[in-house]
Amino acid sequence: MTEALINNNTSVDADTQEQPIHKPLRNCVEDAVEMYLKQLDGHTTTDFYKVVLQEIEEPLLRCVLKYTRGNQSKASEMLGINRGTLRKKLKLYDLHK
């Protein structure tokens, strides 16, 4: 199911015609990374992998917590990480309450 949600970019209506509903998550990430690299305009960067993960992780945690209405147990289960790891990440991004 997760892969279907990530890669799904169509929806079937009552007439069973496919209608685009949104870009797959991977395409959104690819577009954002390409835009960032274009803005570098030939300059170099280091730790780019780490920067990208940090930029993605914080909004991911925020959205999942919102989806689970702040339930950290459900959020950690949904993310596939243990609650201790989730709490550590929430503290890192100052998302803990």
| Whether 74 and 50 share a structural domain | yes
pLDDT, residue 96, reads 83
DSSP letters spanning the chain: -HHHHHH--EEE-TT--EEE----HHHHHHHHHHHHHHHHTT---SSHHHHHHHHHHHHHHHHHHHHTTT-HHHHHHHHTS-HHHHHHHHHHTT---
Across 13-17, 24-28, 62-66, the highest mean pLDDT is recorded for 62-66
| Whether 15 and 56 share a structural domain | no
| Whether 15 and 62 share a structural domain | no
Counting the structural domains of the chain, the total is: 2
Task: Domain of residue 54: give its range.
Answer: 46-97
| Whether 96 and 50 share a structural domain | yes
For 51-82, what is each residue's pLDDT tens digit? 999 999 999 999 999 999 999 999 999 999 99
Instruction: Using the predicted structure, report yes or no on whether residue 43 has a pLDDT greater than 60.
Output: yes
